[in-house]
Chain A
Amino acid sequence: MIATPTTESPPRVLTRVRGVLKPSMLGQLAALPAIVIAVLVGSQLNRAFLTVDNIMTNVLAASAVLGVLTVAAALIIIAGHFDMSTQSVVAFAPVLSVWLVMPAAAGGSGVELDPVLGLLLIFVLGAVVGAINGFLVAGLKLNAFIVTLAMLILLQGMTLGIGGGETLSNLPEVFTYLGSARWLGIPAEVVVAVAVFVAAGLFMRYTVTGRQIYAIGGNPDAARASGIRVERITFWLFVASGVLAALAGLLMTARIASVTASQGNNILFTVFAAAVIGGIDLRGGRGRIVGVATGVLLLALVQNILLVSQIPSFWVNAIYGAIILLALMTGALAQGSWLTRFRRSPHAPQPAPDRSGDDR
């Protein structure tokens, strides 16, 4: 339809705004109001909270590991699968590498691998673990949840066996560099995590492969029918997830300047919480990386506030859990999924045309 410019210009601005603030996006960014509240509460509790330094080092840098792992989880969930093994790679890849690098006297293997090769090895190990997961899920059609859960247990056990439960410290500088370096005054960890978010966000939005990942998670049969190589993409996604988990492992090693078999333990729950708060649909096919960033940011802020507040440390976890539940509930409300769920009668299928009455 052709309209005259005079009548067109004001509504055009409006449609622009509406285009950006589509209702579907409200669900994705449901964490935003919660972030505002968290910042307000934090600044009331402690004057040091709202300082560049606290936000940079104690909120953002401290959540770099969580952020990278949540991106990995989000990619896999969007494709309709789960990867539980990332948590164990966070310990396994650095522990094995460092063990091969360190001399026997310092608790290492005595192989004394070149540290730079050791650094590369971390990523290779992540890729290998991901490739095994990918083969089992995409090739052998095993259930990703169970496969990666078994991998999680296996790798945790192996990590413990290799290191003997010892903490290895005094690491070569290549392993600790990212934990202390600042690039242009910004902690290197933050730069790395932000780069991962930007790359993943652009990849999922602007490449055909990224869109195909959404299609696979949204309707695998339709994806296959439109010529998408479902198995191949799924395989490489698990490899990517393994590599990102290895990166998270390196970041964590750099941060604590040592390796220990228990590093990364229990982070998985926070990862999934951040992904879901960020609008990633656990059924696959929906959610955006921007949303994931808000989910991670919210949990990082809450963690920091709980630390700087006067709450007894024994209660911190309980409150953290309660806040995650609250965030999930507000997210569901914002997406309107509560209403539709209660409105629909319990047994009636959704009025989709492909399941209408007699269609088989």
Chain B
Amino acid sequence: MSPTDPPAIEVDRVSKWFGPTRALDDVSFAVAKGQSRALLGRNGAGKSTLVSLITGIARPDTGELRIVGEPLHGQDDRIGCVYQRSSLIPAFTAAENVLIKHYPRRRGGLIHWRELRERARGLLDEWTIGDLADEPVERLQPMHKKIVEICRALVSDPEVLILDEPTAGLDKSDTARLFALLERLRERGTTVLYISHHLEDVFRVCDSVTVLRDARHVLTAGIGDVTMAQLVEAIVGEQPPSAVTRPPRASEAPVVLSVRDVRVDDRVGPVDLELRAGECIGIAGLEGCGKATLARALVGLEPRSGEVVVDGREVEPGDVPEALRAGIGYVPEDRHVDGMVSVLDVSENSTMALAPRIGRRPLGFLPRLSRRADLDRAYAELARQWRIVASSPRQLISELSGGNQQKCVMARAFATDPRLLVLVNPTAGVDVSAKASILASLSSALDRGAGVLVFSEDADDFALCDRILIMIRGSVVAVLDEEWTEADLVAAMQGEAA
């Protein structure tokens, strides 16, 4: 390649605003032809905005994107993208999915199925899965589905291939096999933009990195010129050490949770831990490490093996009502999926777990009636405690801000005064003040003698934790139990000893 060749992709002084929020601020970098470039940054640093600009879903407010020297306008065949979320048609065969944008046709315009199968088989064969061409993709393993998506993205022979977290949901051996296959991209001379939270992976498959932080470009370097520590620092920036605000717990407090040899299929485990009253343990790991799966298994939403004892009572796997009766309060990973009923009002949402207790039995034996007046009274108390801001108890929860929604979900989990709180991403998508009040309520629950498990990857969520277990690909690999900084945490989640 001569030095005058235009780069495969050039991001030139690009800025993008979403309303008052600056998503990208004057970002410039270029990737030479045939390079594998990692694009790194925390959630919200601007990576996904940049991807949506490159794939043509959105347009930059100022600046320009160029592909091999030519400006990019809208969606373009010169860009291929493999999204983190599967975009395959489940009932179609692998072959049809690969050629879904390029059906081979006969002269009359009808689909030429034999040619479709043969062409797709050839493409899939390059990635060693030609024999799966006629299988519906819903029956394929996660890694094979990923390969089908990669093949589909490569059909139009793009100049640039974007891989967005391609290893999410894959186990260790599949990840290794996928990396071996990704070597083929290098042989083909395809330029790759690789987005990942796993720095370890980046060092294995990329030859250069670009780091974004707070919407700005902070670093571009060859992979040999940076260390893991330098990358972590570029990603998180300067952070003060976390202030440990609570004195260490007395070790004589009763055990509220003991977990022994818990496994979920081969995705998680074995996990062992012991949590005492008034103690807070964090479980930190990147997306896909299995921490949310572990949390779901503890409350019975996921089948598991091993022993879970809550407050001296053994909990059967897969039995949610039993787990809740044993004294678990649960705040799920994504409130929109299983945290709240968006068509119900704030009062009903917050008191859902309380309803059976405050309902009255008419004549002593009829089914409990839950009266709105009782629920609203209970809600008023919760709203005061949690500072939930709603126009009335009857306002729909979907009309509230994210912070107030999360407070309702938290209030419900805390309302029954549980012995054990299992919180997943407790402050995801909430503003700073809501974050502070959620942490304050957490602190008072600890003072009342509850045990708390916090599952998250956000350093702020661990402010109250006595120790943090680090989870990587389904197993606990390290413990942070002294003073730590965000950089320590991020490095630990990458598998680097702090």
Set of chain B residues within 8 Å of A142, measured between Cβ atoms: none
Q: A356-B267, A359-B287 are in contact. Are A211 and B111 (CB under 8 A)?
A: yes
Which of these binds chain B: A144-152, A217-225, A249-257, A320-328? A217-225
Q: CA A19 – CA B95 in complex, angstroms?
A: 14
Give the total number of A-B pairs whose CB atoms are below 8 A apart: 109
Q: CA A357 – CA B145 in complex, angstroms?
A: 17
Set of chain A residues within 8 Å of B86, measured between Cβ atoms: 222, 352-354
Please pick, from B87, B136, B318, the residue contacting A347 in the complex, using a CB distance under 8 A: B318
B292 to chain A, nearest CB (A): 4
The count of residues in chain A whose C-beta lies closer than 8 Å to any C-beta of chain B is 34
**Do A225 and B83 touch (CB < 8 A)?**
yes
Q: For B471, give the chain A residue with the smallest CB separation.
A: A358
* Contact-residue size bin, chain B (C-beta under 8 Å from the other chain): 35 or more
**Do A357 and B134 touch (CB < 8 A)?**
no
Set of chain A residues within 8 Å of B301, measured between Cβ atoms: 347-348
Q: A219-B89, A347-B301, A347-B320 are in contact. Are A360 and B287 (CB under 8 A)?
A: yes
Set of chain A residues within 8 Å of B89, measured between Cβ atoms: 214-215, 218-219, 222-223, 285
B19 to chain A, nearest CB (A): 22
Interface string of B211-238 (1 = CB under 8 A from A): 0000000000000000000000000000
B377 to chain A, nearest CB (A): 32
Q: CA A211 – CA B265 in complex, angstroms?
A: 36
B29 at the interface (CB under 8 A from A): no
Set of chain B residues within 8 Å of A356, measured between Cβ atoms: 142, 168-169, 267, 288, 293
**Do A358 and B290 touch (CB < 8 A)?**
yes
Set of chain A residues within 8 Å of B169, measured between Cβ atoms: 353-354, 356-357, 359
Please pick, from A202, A285, A348, A352, the residue contacting B303 in the complex, using a CB distance under 8 A: A348
**Do B87 and A222 touch (CB < 8 A)?**
yes
Q: CA A219 – CA B96 in complex, angstroms?
A: 14
**Do B83 and A211 touch (CB < 8 A)?**
no
A196 to chain B, nearest CB (A): 18
Interface string of A162-205 (1 = CB under 8 A from B): 00000000000000000000000000000000000000001001
Q: CA A359 – CA B424 in complex, angstroms?
A: 13
B254 at the interface (CB under 8 A from A): no
B110 at the interface (CB under 8 A from A): yes
Within residues 198 to 240 of chain A, which ones have a CB less than 8 A from any CB in chain B? 202, 205-208, 211, 214-215, 218-219, 221-223, 225-227
B194 to chain A, nearest CB (A): 18
A24 at the interface (CB under 8 A from B): yes
Q: CA A223 – CA B84 in complex, angstroms?
A: 16
Set of chain A residues within 8 Å of B334, measured between Cβ atoms: 360
Please pick, from A19, A214, A346, A357, the residue contacting B288 in the complex, using a CB distance under 8 A: A357
A222 to chain B, nearest CB (A): 4
Interface string of B291-304 (1 = CB under 8 A from A): 11100100011110
Q: A215-B100, A285-B89 are in contact. Are A358 and B292 (CB under 8 A)?
A: yes
Q: For A206, give the chain B residue with the smallest CB separation.
A: B110
B85 at the interface (CB under 8 A from A): yes
**Interface-central residue, A208, A345, A352, A359, by most chain B CB under 10 Å:** A359
Set of chain B residues within 8 Å of A208, measured between Cβ atoms: 103, 105, 111
**Do A219 and B87 touch (CB < 8 A)?**
yes
Set of chain B residues within 8 Å of A348, measured between Cβ atoms: 301-303, 318
Set of chain A residues within 8 Å of B100, measured between Cβ atoms: 211, 215, 226
Set of chain A residues within 8 Å of B105, measured between Cβ atoms: 208
**Do B88 and A219 touch (CB < 8 A)?**
yes
A-B contact pairs, 27 of them (CB 8 A): A19-B134, A206-B111, A211-B111, A214-B92, A218-B90, A218-B91, A219-B88, A219-B89, A222-B86, A222-B88, A227-B101, A285-B89, A285-B90, A345-B318, A347-B302, A347-B318, A354-B86, A354-B169, A356-B168, A356-B267, A357-B267, A357-B268, A357-B289, A358-B285, A358-B287, A358-B333, A359-B85
Closest 5 CB pairs of A and B: A353-B142, A357-B293, A222-B87, A353-B169, A206-B110
| A residues adjacent to B (C-beta < 8 A) | 19, 22, 24, 202, 205-208, 211, 214-215, 218-219, 221-223, 225-227, 285-286, 345-348, 351-354, 356-360
Q: Besides the contacts A22-B134, A357-B290, A359-B169, what 4 more A-B pairs have beta carbons closer than 8 Å?
A: A24-B136, A218-B90, A353-B86, A357-B291
